[in-house]
Amino acid sequence: MLSLEQVKQSLESAGQSHILQFWPELCEGERHTFLRELSQLDLKGLEDHCEGAARAAASPSASLDQHIEPVPPESIGSMRKSDKESLAVWENEGLLQISENGVGVLLLAGGQGTRLGVQYPKGMYNVGLPSSKTLYQIQAERIHKIQELADRKYDSKCTVPWYIMTSEFTLAPTEKFFKENNYFGLEPSNIVMFEQRMIPAVTFDGKVILQGKGKIAMAPDGNGGLYQALVDNKVLEDMKKRGVEYLHVYCVDNILVKMADPVFIGFCVSKGADCGAKVVEKAYPAEPVGVVCRVRGVSQVVEYSEIQPETAELRGPEGELVYSAGNICNHFFTRAFLQDVAETYKGQLKQHVAFKKVPFVDTCGNQVKPTKPNGIKMEKFVFDVFPFSSVSAGDNPPAQCEISPLVSYFGEGLEQLLKGRTLPTPLILDEKQAKELQAQ
């Protein structure tokens, strides 16, 4: 734990010295707790975080209309439109991977159920079924069933491990709930709970908000905090140890989610994809849901607020919406891709601004519950890693390489000539260039 002097210096250099304004009023125990909390903050990155939040809040979302296009048909499979033979092939492939213990499910469960009118984790919510089952129980039972289906199909005894990302708010009650319900019949060692990071809420002018005299207002860093949490909690190592190669990632409040859906898993595996998204068709043009599409040739999710109404209303020759692939936070990732993101790309994830009503103490120490948004919470979204996919990267922008027919007719000799080499593009590979490469 850092000393008070160290913390004070760091806060002053970050322009956040107001955080300690009530220090003299705290008792010894409160001071110890607050100092421990401050020591765990990324104090070096605090200034950048606060300034970035204020900048992002002041910057309107840019329209992407001129840069977007639909996802190409070859990248799409459909439960409604694909032929029965393809669906059967994908399902068998998915069940095979499950039967070989190669598939895990990863639940994003960091949020509380405040919008549902409850103060406990969403997964504990009774959704009103005749059975009174909670979301967690429904999902646990689907894991049971998919294991049973894979075992029956391939005469195996498989396990689909369940990784559950919680937050500071939801970890303890979730652990308690699972224990009280005997883990819904699942083996406890196959349920891995871990916690995502918390980050400070910030005012519109870039100041950390005090929730109490000795407490910073903190919030989970969005479901895109998954990638840092995988590193913090050594979850990727656990997946590797278990032999998990493919992950189905989803949000807790999806009552219809098919755990480790074999058709979805099989489709992505058969396409050689390192990430994928299950979508639903938008109900109407202005429906407030993100859309999976391409931006400058790269597949990604574009928020509805970033698309102009006239673009959202575009229709194809049969009257269908051109941009209809509604994102429902239901994703496929290979473990190898998650490893790449964790090691290389997580620092490049886009930051999204959420305007929130954040309870705070005013300068006199009075507790205030705001009636309108007064703070900024910066969030990362799980789907913002799509542009880092090798498929997306290969599609945009295409590396320009012209190969003279005098060098190769249909690709013969190119492996020997180019294997292991990194060449700048655009590249014209003619006879002269080929001879130079051979001589190296």
pLDDT confidence of residue 248: 97
pLDDT confidence of residue 60: 67
User: What's this model's pTM, rounded to 2 decimal places?
Assistant: 0.80
Number of Cβ within a 10 Å radius of residue 215: 14
Structure tokens at 318: 């049969």
pLDDT confidence of residue 390: 67
H or E element at residue 332: strand 325-334
- Domain map of the chain by residue range? 4-54, 61-395, 401-439
pLDDT confidence of residue 251: 92
Secondary structure (3-state) at 122:
helix
**Over the chain, what is the mean pLDDT?**
87
Categorise residue 408: left if φ over 0, alpha if ψ from -120 to 50, beta otherwise. beta
Q: Find the radius of gyration of the CA atoms of the chain.
A: 25
CATH code for the structural domain at 61-395 = 3.90.550.10
Single out the residue of 373, 370, 367 nearest to residue 355, CA to CA.
373
Contacts of 405 (CB under 8 A, 6+ apart): none
CA distance 207 to 49: 10
- DSSP β-bridge partners for residue 377: 354
How distant, in Å, are the alpha carbons of 160, 295, 388, 391 from that of 396? Answer: 35, 9, 11, 9
pLDDT confidence of residue 361: 93
Single out the residue of 213, 148, 187 nearest to residue 365, CA to CA.
213
Residues of the chain with pLDDT under 70: 60-63, 112-116, 390-400, 409-410
8 Å CB contact between 277 and 386:
yes
